[in-house]
Chain A
Amino acid sequence: MAISNWIQQNRKERSTFTVWKALIYVVLGFWAFMVIFPMLWATISSFKTDQEIFFSPWGLPAALQWDNFARAWTKAKLGIFFFNTILVIIPAITLTLLLSSMVAYVLARFEFRGKQIVFYLFLTGMMFPIFLALVPLYFVMQFSGLLNTVHGLVLVYVAFSLPFTVFFLTGFFKTLPTELAEAAMMDGASHYRIFFSVMLPLAAPALVSVGIFNFLGQWNQFILPNVLISNAGLDESQSRYVLSQGLYYLYGQQFYQSDWSGLFAAVTLVTIPTLIVYVFFHDRIEAGLTVGALKG
């Protein structure tokens, strides 16, 4: 009886098959359009003249205005912002991964007094939003002379990336087999040696996942640089801007001096690296971010 029911059901499904599927494609297609079209439109606009942007917002550019990009890169200082961002991100991610894996390894593999304290110290840091600490952090930075400096921003990025990265890696180190480390210990290797030449290489996949997670978080970070690399009016300070605040600054400038085509070009230029990284590593990025969400 059940089986004949099932066959009937199947037949019914087949008759509604095309309408149902067509509807699904319409819905998914609509959202894909919503996601892709604004970016496509901004990219096309970045090749236009200001005249074309205003008077034929839907048309294609008559000639490709490569000059927009040159202007954004040099005159609008996008090149400097790019360089600054890389100068912050590379040491910040390296340090985050190194220091976090050290803490995580110790927490995962050793018993010692105060272990619980260290553990909960990092755990609480994960629960609070950054803006609660913003005002005192500003003064910590000011008193230590780290305000408006690249190395200051690096240290802050590392500090705020530590909690999650430590937790992610502690979980991973706990899953690694102990035999290898024990064997190395028998051979007389020191704890340092075991960590750097046995455990760290074994942790490479986890380091890549959490590294991508940190890259996106730090590359996109807005609130910290916006406050710690400040004095927006001063030319001196602006030359230390990272990309996110540089673009914010350019966007603000837009209200005084209209260079829409240059701004569109800037947005396109900033989106391209993210897009390239995403197209090549989307599997890992997806996994890193969703695993991060489920663990965090």
Chain B
Amino acid sequence: MKHGQKRFIFTFLFIPVLIYLVFVAVPYVTSMAVAFTKWRGLSLNITFNGLNNFIKLFNDENFWGALSHNGIALIVLPLVIITISLFFAFLFTQGIKGNGFFRIAFFFPQVMSAIIVGVLWSFVYHPTIGMLNGLLGMLGVSSMKSFPWLGDPSTVYGAILAVTVWQAVGFYMVLFITGMESIPPHFYEAAKLDGASSIVMFIQITIPMLWEAIRTAIVFLALAAMDMYAIVMIMTNGSGGASRAADVVPRYMWEAAFSNGEWGYATAMALVLMLIILVLSIISLRFTRRETLEF
């Protein structure tokens, strides 16, 4: 009996763990080793390179540029997305009709793939046939006629960030609404008796009660900000934008690895970003820790 159980456990774990080790664990572990090598091109001529990749990285302007764009996203995405989606979640509590329709419509972009969102918005931003310049023209803004939103270094990254906000707001709104539904109504009834307005109640009851969900949102969006690979690839057609104005580290890493064959260098880049993510997660979890309300 006992023997049979051991065998059963082994049989059930063997294949999944093997697949996981080969395709996930081994690559992660080797990537840490590869980062310290000088490995270029398709040959297997791998030599130890010490910290040279990291020194080169430190002096690489393109890397700092890309990292600064991830940094901008790190501030902009959580701030803007959480503010807008909390605001919408609040509006949903105001007893309006058509809740269901708005909720379904707002959430849909989250389900769309990066490629659809990217191509769709490239149409919208297109200088001549695009919807945005068309709308601006109708509103009488003639200075923006044929303005290439994705071609101009001063606007390309902002335009991409706006798309990211557009896609995520509905999801976080639903996340917050779900959280709000689990707040016991007597909290509000008591506050209402004390004459609190709905905005005061939202700030003093809803937001503290939602803190766990908001914390989750911050961590998720911070991770998304450090990535941005797919949307930047698609909307800049793989280039990172004119003068690299919208480049992000994962895309630059992809270029180093798969265009230039600088495998060791690319992996060093990934490792540095990884460390930053790790530190950020610890910081954001520490700083947002709070007494959770029990009820």
Contacts and interface: CB of A to CB of B under 8 A. Distances in A.
Binding partners A and B: yes
Interface of A: 2-3, 5-6, 9, 20-21, 24-25, 27-28, 31-32, 34-39, 41-42, 45, 53-54, 57-58, 99-100, 102-103, 105-106, 110, 112, 118, 121-122, 125, 127-129, 131-138, 140, 155-156, 158-160, 162-163, 166, 190-192, 195, 216, 219-220, 222-223, 226-227, 230, 243-245, 247-248, 251-252, 255, 260, 263-264, 267, 270-271, 274-275, 278-279, 282, 285-286, 289-290, 293-294
B258 A230 contact: yes
Nearest to A157: B23
B115 A222 contact: yes
Contact of A2 (B19, B107, B116, B194): B194
B189 to A, nearest CB: 10
B114 A222 contact: yes
A271 B116 contact: yes
Contact of B120 (A39, A118, A216): A39
- Majority-rule SS of B interface residues: helix
Interface residues of B, number: 93
B195 A106 contact: no
B111 A285 contact: yes
B195 A131 contact: no
Given A129-B223, A245-B115, A274-B116, 4 more contacts: A110-B9, A135-B263, A135-B266, A135-B270
B128 interface: yes
Contact of B6 (A112, A131, A136, A155): A112
A159 B19 contact: yes
Nearest to B170: A35
Contact of B4 (A191, A275, A278): A191
B94 A134 contact: no
Contacts of B30: 136
8 contacts: A24-B94, A35-B170, A128-B274, A135-B27, A135-B31, A159-B20, A251-B119, A279-B104
B293 interface: no
Nearest to B177: A290
B75 interface: no
B9 to A, nearest CB: 5
Given A42-B120, A159-B24, A282 B104 contact: yes
Interface stretch (B59-67, B140-148, B225-233): B225-233
A257 to B, nearest CB: 14
Interface in B142-172: 166, 169-171
Contacts of B130: 57
A32 B106 contact: yes
